[in-house]
A and B are shown apart, each in its own frame.
Chain A
Amino acid sequence: MTSTNGVENLEHWFPRETRRGASVYSAEEGMRLGVVVGGSLSKGLVVKLDPQQTIEDLAVGRYVVVRGENKRFFCMITDIALDSPNPAIQSDPPEIVNDPFLRDVYIGTAAYGKLYAAPMLAIDDAEDAPRPVKTIPGHFMPVLNASVEDVNAVFGREDATHFNVGAPLELEETQINLDLKRLVERSIGVFGKSGTGKSFLTRMLLAGIIARGQAVNLIFDMHNDYGWEVTDERGPRAKGLKQLFPTKVSIITLDPESARRRNVRPDFEVKLGYDEIEPEDIAMLRETMGLSDAMIDAAYTLSKHWGKQWVRRLIEITAEDIEEIEAKTPTRAGTLAALQRRLQRFERWEFLVPESTGDTVQQILTKLDNGTSVVLEFGRYGNSLEAYILVANYLTRRIHEKYVERVEKALGDEALEPPQLLITIEEAHKFLDPRIASQTIFGIIARELRKYKVTLLVVDQRPSGIDEEVMSQIGTRVTALLDNERDINAVLSGISGAAGLREVLARLDTKQQAIIMGHAVPMPVVVKTRTYDEAFYAAVTENNLKPDTIKQARQRLGNSGDRRIR
């Protein structure tokens, strides 16, 4: 309705300057994308784009905010579409390329852009704290690009327990801060196909955890990616954890020669005894070594029959031994021979010694107790998956046993509990295969959560190969680009609003982009991860110049430092 004071005096009542271009959202006009026109909580909101929006400027994974009546809804763009009220326009499209007038008229009216946004969080204007979304905004509520303030309201600021991992898409002046306390409380998965920067992501997370002292780490470093410097595909050498935190990280190795070649000075060399290899350790190698059920049964039988030295005896088995076993057990000679041939590979591994000194596990535990993270470099054995699985399983089982013992002894007394431990394994699907996950130590750790203060950081490119139950227990998932349908399904299983994230996940950049979802972030977020460079080194080490005393470190990790249980 326009008004006049008498017909002649319209200008007096409605001066042209104020009448034109006025908008209820004038303050937000630059950020407004469109309005909500439909949708549901489960399937996400449908937003009709304003005509002035260029659809090419939008991207899945970006944050938008819907301003409702009393709440702000944080949503992620999950899909972008073109639509028209009349499908007949597809058969007779207007010629807009050379006619700006027709373009200005048609775009946004007879043909318009739509975006689908998954609501993730809501902030009540009265409370000003983000809550999981339980409702959706009403029709025609304005949808805006998320501002720096919006992102900060959700992800907080960097502090003692929050670590900056990067910036949301298109909002590079702000940052996403992971809640490290929550991150290490449950197992973590870092996924992504080969060459998407999983190792860099993992190293960055580990650097954050070590810098903020939220957990001690035991890292089974298959390809020497974490301990000392690594060659960055994009250029200069990147610093390893030991270089960043000389006093908080210890490198141990299976292959001292490789360490020497790379000018790494490991704290000690790991030696494992044949006498401590158990049939469970062999069962883990079922797939990688091509072991049959009969061979695994034979391993259990031999262990029972010969005791601790069963591996050594099998490798050097004599005709009499075979006769004896055949006579006393149902195991057949052919099975024994096949198992022997496979276990003979162990002889090439110099880190295996006839008898365990028991030192390795104890030395690692002492370091962990002192708040020092341990990186176990595999050197040349990194190319042997069997060696990796055997060693990781061997050490983890024993360390986990000690942890269970100590946590049970502590009886809930935090002062006596060991520090929170995060174990990093690569090629995780080999450890957490559905056929073996229920028996392996890694399956057990993943399922029992934080009960015994040990959690896993699994790094893998085939998440579909990981047992579903284990997957469901992974608290925080950090996922770089995945394009295999089954892998995408596996990563998104158990995530609310997963359907919307599917498109986002399949369209991440191949470098420096990841979705983080789960326990450590209030809502799934696509981040452009921080560059692992001098600025990053300075940022993670600035509070770190004065090394913690052992007591300080243990106090921060949940142990007062006054008492120690062995």
Chain B
Amino acid sequence: MEDSVSIVGRVLRASTTGFDCGTRSNRIDDRHNFGAFVRVPISDDGSAYAIGLIYAIRIDDDPLARELVMATNIDQATLMDQRDNRMVPVEICALNVGYIYNGMMFHSLPPRPPLSLSEVVLCHAGEVYDFTQRCDYFRLVLQASEVPSDELIAAALRYASYAYPENERYQFLVRCGRTLANLLANDLKRLSHVLTLIRPDG
């Protein structure tokens, strides 16, 4: 069982390219940031995990929410009750960018998706640090469809940079920027936009 502090949610649906997990709306906090690194077991024995980047947080409606939106003079306690105890989960969507298998980290799609209700947790700083030593996952992000890939890679890098000691942070961002420059050499406007997003102090 993972430390409950770092639990993001439980898997609702999944495929090899990504997974969606759900949680109670009252648990939404800075564990669910856009661009955060999460992991989820893809085997029962704990030897394999998929690693994903949160690229969307979706809050769906339901009939009661629709009615309450339309209503006037609603009691504050009712609103809070509806928000905290509603039966529709907040959905967090993650894009698979790698996996851990028998202790090895791979920057490619996991061999199989996580099963439903598997516990999705936030990667801790050490894992993020180790996973981001190489930049091979960039291509998975940049080529992902239906994902705001430029914003996602920028948010992920900004997120990962905090896993680095302060004196290494600039070099980390430069290294990632250089990889992006190689990958996006044919699309200089896009490159320029992403670099603007990850520029330190920017």
Docked Cα-Cα span, A4 to B47, in Å, equals: 11
Give residues 107-147 of B contacting A (CB, 8 Å): 126-127, 129-131, 133-134
Docked Cα-Cα span, A2 to B178, in Å, equals: 20
Give residues 86-114 of A contacting B (CB, 8 Å): 86, 88-89, 92, 94, 99, 101-102, 104-106, 108-110
Q: Give 1 or 0 for each of B181-201: 1 = CB within 8 Å of chain A CB.
A: 110011010011001000110
> A84: which B residues are within 8 A, CB to CB?
185
The yes or no answer to B57 lying at the interface (CB within 8 A) is no
The yes or no answer to B92 lying at the interface (CB within 8 A) is no
Docked Cα-Cα span, A85 to B191, in Å, equals: 13
Total count of chain A residues near the partner, CB < 8 A: 32
Docked Cα-Cα span, A190 to B67, in Å, equals: 99
Query: When A1-B104, A1-B106, A4-B105 are in contact, do A102 and B130 touch as well, CB less than 8 Å?
Result: no
> A88: which B residues are within 8 A, CB to CB?
188
Q: Which residue of A lies closest to B105 (CB)?
A: A2
Query: When A2-B133, A11-B126, A105-B174 are in contact, do A110 and B103 touch as well, CB less than 8 Å?
Result: no
The yes or no answer to A10 lying at the interface (CB within 8 A) is yes
Docked Cα-Cα span, A10 to B188, in Å, equals: 36
The yes or no answer to B49 lying at the interface (CB within 8 A) is yes
The yes or no answer to A6 lying at the interface (CB within 8 A) is yes
Docked Cα-Cα span, A106 to B129, in Å, equals: 24
Q: Which residue of B lies closest to A108 (CB)?
A: B178
Q: Which residue of B lies closest to A88 (CB)?
A: B188
Q: Which residue of A lies closest to B186 (CB)?
A: A86
Minimum distance in angstroms from B44 CB to a CB of chain A = 15
Docked Cα-Cα span, A255 to B182, in Å, equals: 73
Minimum distance in angstroms from A413 CB to a CB of chain B = 71
Query: When A101-B200, A105-B178, A105-B195 are in contact, do A4 and B100 touch as well, CB less than 8 Å?
Result: yes
Query: When A4-B130, A51-B178, A88-B188 are in contact, do A102 and B199 touch as well, CB less than 8 Å?
Result: yes
The yes or no answer to B52 lying at the interface (CB within 8 A) is no
Docked Cα-Cα span, A102 to B191, in Å, equals: 11
Minimum distance in angstroms from A419 CB to a CB of chain B = 65
Q: Which residue of B lies closest to A11 (CB)?
A: B126
> B177: which A residues are within 8 A, CB to CB?
101, 104-105
Apart from A94-B192, A105-B195, list 17 A-B contacts with CB within 8 A: A1-B106, A2-B133, A2-B134, A4-B100, A4-B103, A4-B104, A7-B100, A10-B127, A10-B130, A11-B126, A19-B133, A51-B178, A86-B188, A105-B178, A110-B181, A110-B185, A110-B188
The yes or no answer to B173 lying at the interface (CB within 8 A) is yes
Total count of chain B residues near the partner, CB < 8 A: 32
Minimum distance in angstroms from B135 CB to a CB of chain A = 12
Query: When A92-B188, A101-B173, A110-B185 are in contact, do A13 and B178 touch as well, CB less than 8 Å?
Result: no
> A7: which B residues are within 8 A, CB to CB?
39, 49, 100, 103, 127
Minimum distance in angstroms from A83 CB to a CB of chain B = 12
The yes or no answer to A3 lying at the interface (CB within 8 A) is yes
Query: When A86-B186, A105-B177 are in contact, do A2 and B199 touch as well, CB less than 8 Å?
Result: no
Minimum distance in angstroms from A373 CB to a CB of chain B = 62
Query: When A1-B105, A2-B104, A2-B133 are in contact, do A106 and B181 touch as well, CB less than 8 Å?
Result: yes
Contact B195 A102 (CB under 8 A): yes
Contact B185 A86 (CB under 8 A): yes
The yes or no answer to A14 lying at the interface (CB within 8 A) is yes
The yes or no answer to A318 lying at the interface (CB within 8 A) is no
> B199: which A residues are within 8 A, CB to CB?
99, 101-102
Contact A104 B188 (CB under 8 A): no
> A18: which B residues are within 8 A, CB to CB?
none
> B130: which A residues are within 8 A, CB to CB?
2, 4, 10, 14
Determine which of A1, A8, A99, A109 lies in contact with B178 in the assembled complex, contact meaning CB atoms within 8 Å. Answer: A109
Q: Which residue of A lies closest to B199 (CB)?
A: A101
The yes or no answer to A5 lying at the interface (CB within 8 A) is yes
Query: When A11-B126, A14-B130 are in contact, do A85 and B185 touch as well, CB less than 8 Å?
Result: yes
Can you name 28 A-B residue pairings with CB atoms under 8 Å? A2-B104, A2-B134, A3-B105, A4-B104, A4-B105, A4-B130, A7-B39, A7-B103, A10-B126, A10-B127, A10-B129, A13-B103, A20-B168, A85-B185, A88-B188, A92-B188, A94-B192, A99-B199, A101-B177, A101-B199, A101-B202, A104-B177, A104-B178, A105-B180, A106-B181, A109-B181, A110-B185, A110-B188
Docked Cα-Cα span, A6 to B41, in Å, equals: 12
Q: Which residue of A lies closest to B181 (CB)?
A: A109
Q: Which residue of A lies closest to B165 (CB)?
A: A16
Docked Cα-Cα span, A51 to B129, in Å, equals: 24
Q: Which residue of A lies closest to B103 (CB)?
A: A4
> A86: which B residues are within 8 A, CB to CB?
185-186, 188
Q: Which residue of A lies closest to B132 (CB)?
A: A2
> A20: which B residues are within 8 A, CB to CB?
168
Docked Cα-Cα span, A6 to B49, in Å, equals: 11
Minimum distance in angstroms from B49 CB to a CB of chain A = 7
Docked Cα-Cα span, A84 to B195, in Å, equals: 18
